[in-house]
Amino acid sequence: MWVLFLLPLVWAIPKPTITPLTPSGLRWEIPDADYELVAIHFSINQDLTGVQAGRYNVDVRTKQGSSWVYVQDGVTLHPGDTVHYWLYALSRGRPSQDLNQVWTYSGPNTQPPVTHAPVTHAPVTHAPVTNKPAHNPKTEAVTHKTPSSGHNIDSVSFNAVQKDCDDSPVCTSYPCLIFDDEFNTFDLKTWEHEITAGGGGNWEFQYYTNNRTNSYVKNGVLYLKPTLTSDQYGLNFLEHGKLELWGAGPYDTCTGNQFYGCERQGAPGRLVNPIQSAKIRSSRGFNFKYGKVEIEAKLPTGDWLWPAIWMMPTYDSYGGWPASGEIDIMESRGNLHYHDSKGQSQGVNRMGSTIHFGPDWTHDNWGRGHAEKDSKHGTFGDSFHKYGLEWDENNMKFFLDDELILTVDPGNDGFWKYGGYDKTHFTNPWAGASKMAPFDQEFFIILNVAVGGQNFFPDSFTNTGYAKPWKDADSTAFWNARNLWYPTWKPNQNNGEDAAMQINYVKVWKLKP
């Protein structure tokens, strides 16, 4: 059962009142149903099929009283003219659409307002083709097509009908959009903040908190921005303060006690985590198995930043990490001038996709499911790019801007043999399950920006300008070198948002029954 939709849903958009104006113009009025955005697409005397763009296409961004009102100037209707249109509305990250609608103007007697007769059809939800509001800072046009998979996401409907006594959508055709967050608001019913200083086993230098300094929505974009802990608590706090994250309620309680994640005591040479950042997950609001995931994001630029878009299992059905799997859609490093021993760039102009699986944490065979890709123009911090996953009962495919960069197919014998574990003494945790086990269970989405720590910034890599200032998990050495790395975050420019991961949208489709 999808648990995203926690409130009563309106699946059909209320019918609009369409009014021709004198001497010209066309007025639209749509009753509000707790919408964040309403879009109108229409043509005069010209068919519109599905989500085809109309002669007129507009996003209505603000309500007038209890309705969404829009007037299209310069339109003159004559008796017998037909308005072909379709509507799109967004409520709490959930899209609704009414397609293939028709209204015919019968002449002056229909003025003032006349409401058209409805066209009978099933309520639908699917991806909009409208642009986000004009103030959206997205910097390049993108399509939603994946030629390598055969799915044209723009040319098909994504239908869903409401299930009796259940808020879960039931798809009636495929691909079927089952989740769409355009970040016009910050939906905290879907996205839960992780609150911990544990660093995920990598002893990273940030702690994660629920704070609008570090996670916020602006102009239709979600920002996950790291800042200095000393900005919040002062310099003295790092060596002498106590960071307590235990909390007192369901949304401010520490989410990870491992690795001293809920409490840290500062001392000389052993600092409280010097960076404050954000990590959000959809585990409370949206979990799914199989489908197409597409996330458009602009990555952070700045030394030792570690942005990630990834997925973890909802239930750990096969045991602790990595026996139940991990899916990393995108990981990158914020450094502008960072190279491996072969001189290959390993900074913000390179990203990677990876899966993790194995019988225990010492036998994670991530190398059997890993690929890296360089940006074709500039860096991934210069503009928005699409990071995608197509995942079904046969394989996983990873995409960058619709280009296939990695396919993982374990074969009929599954991941046990694919990882070479059949030659070990371990017991197979996936015995009797499908070939895709452990990736045949529900997962949820995670978005975060980490900083430094062990493992992800190898000592063998070279950072041009100055050497990596710490070894292992020495946060004190990292902090003492802040005059070197902090300027690369550009904290005094653009509200420090060059160091933020910016997410334009998150969409998930179910591709087939």
pLDDT in tens, 320-372: 999 999 999 999 999 999 999 999 999 999 999 999 999 999 999 999 999 99
Q: What angle do CA 207, 211, 214 make, to 5 degrees?
A: 70
The model's pTM is 0.72
Per-residue model confidence (pLDDT) at position 354: 98
Question: Could you tell me the pLDDT band of residue 200, with boundaries at 50, 70 and 90?
Answer: confident
92 φψ region: left (φ > 0), alpha (ψ -120 to 50), beta (else): left
Which of 504, 486, 501, 503 lies closest to 225, judged by CA?
A: 501
224: three-class secondary structure by DSSP: strand
Report the alpha-carbon distance of residue 507 to residue 99 in Å, rounded: 20
Task: Walk me through the domains of the chain, giving residue ranges and CATH numbers.
Answer: 17-115 (2.60.40.2140), 169-510 (2.60.120.200)
Per-residue model confidence (pLDDT) at position 122: 34
Report the alpha-carbon distance of residue 380 to residue 501 in Å, rounded: 10
Question: Could you tell me the pLDDT band of residue 166, with boundaries at 50, 70 and 90?
Answer: very low
Check if the beta carbon of residue 511 is closer than 8 Å to that of residue 291: yes
Per-residue model confidence (pLDDT) at position 46: 87
Which helix (H) or strand (E) segment holds residue 239: the answer is: helix 235-240
As a whole-number percent, the residues of the chain with pLDDT over 90 amount to 71
Residue 138, pLDDT above cutoff 50 = no
248: three-class secondary structure by DSSP: coil
Question: Could you tell me the pLDDT band of residue 176, with boundaries at 50, 70 and 90?
Answer: very high
* Cα–Cα separations (whole angstroms), residue 485 to 52, 124, 276, 465: 48, 49, 15, 10
Pick the range with the lowest mean pLDDT from 45-49, 83-87, 472-476: 45-49
Both tokens of 402, joined, read 């619709």
Per-residue model confidence (pLDDT) at position 341: 92
Check if the beta carbon of residue 245 is closer than 8 Å to that of residue 262: yes
Task: Please tell me the number of Cα atoms within 13 Å of 190 on its side-chain side.
Answer: 23
Check if the beta carbon of residue 443 is closer than 8 Å to that of residue 288: yes
Check if the beta carbon of residue 117 is closer than 8 Å to that of residue 106: no
Which of 361, 301, 263 lies closest to 490, judged by CA?
A: 301
Greater confidence (36 vs 427) lies with 427
Find the mean pLDDT for residues 277-301.
97
Check if the beta carbon of residue 440 is closer than 8 Å to that of residue 393: yes
Residue 378, pLDDT above cutoff 50 = yes
Per-residue model confidence (pLDDT) at position 119: 35
Report the alpha-carbon distance of residue 109 to residue 396 in Å, rounded: 59
Average pLDDT, the chain: 86
Check if the beta carbon of residue 261 is closer than 8 Å to that of residue 198: yes
As a whole-number percent, the residues of the chain with pLDDT over 70 amount to 85
Question: Could you tell me the pLDDT band of residue 155, with boundaries at 50, 70 and 90?
Answer: very low
Q: Which residue has the tokens 């160091």?
A: 499
Per-residue model confidence (pLDDT) at position 37: 83
Per-residue model confidence (pLDDT) at position 296: 98
Find the mean pLDDT for residues 449-461.
95
Please name the residue ranges forming H helices in 424-502: 475-480, 482-485
pLDDT tens digits for range 253-264:
999 999 999 999
Per-residue model confidence (pLDDT) at position 159: 47
Residue 397, pLDDT above cutoff 90 = yes
Task: Report which DSSP code applies to 467.
Answer: -
pLDDT tens digits for range 202-237:
999 999 999 999 999 999 999 999 999 999 999 999
Residue 9, pLDDT above cutoff 60 = no
Q: Which amino acid is at 234?
A: G
Report the alpha-carbon distance of residue 509 to residue 513 in Å, rounded: 11
- How many CB atoms neighbour CB 512 within 10 A? 13
Check if the beta carbon of residue 500 is closer than 8 Å to that of residue 490: no
Residue 134, pLDDT above cutoff 80 = no
Question: Could you tell me the pLDDT band of residue 286, with boundaries at 50, 70 and 90?
Answer: very high
Pick the range with the lowest mean pLDDT from 66-70, 140-144, 176-180, 268-272: 140-144
Per-residue model confidence (pLDDT) at position 187: 95
Report the alpha-carbon distance of residue 486 to residue 223 in Å, rounded: 19
Q: Which amino acid is at 201?
A: G
Pick the range with the lowest mean pLDDT from 16-30, 174-188, 430-444: 16-30
Both tokens of 286, joined, read 């949206």
Give Cβ neighbours of residue 492 (< 8 Å, ≥ 6 apart).
none
Check if the beta carbon of residue 389 is closer than 8 Å to that of residue 399: yes
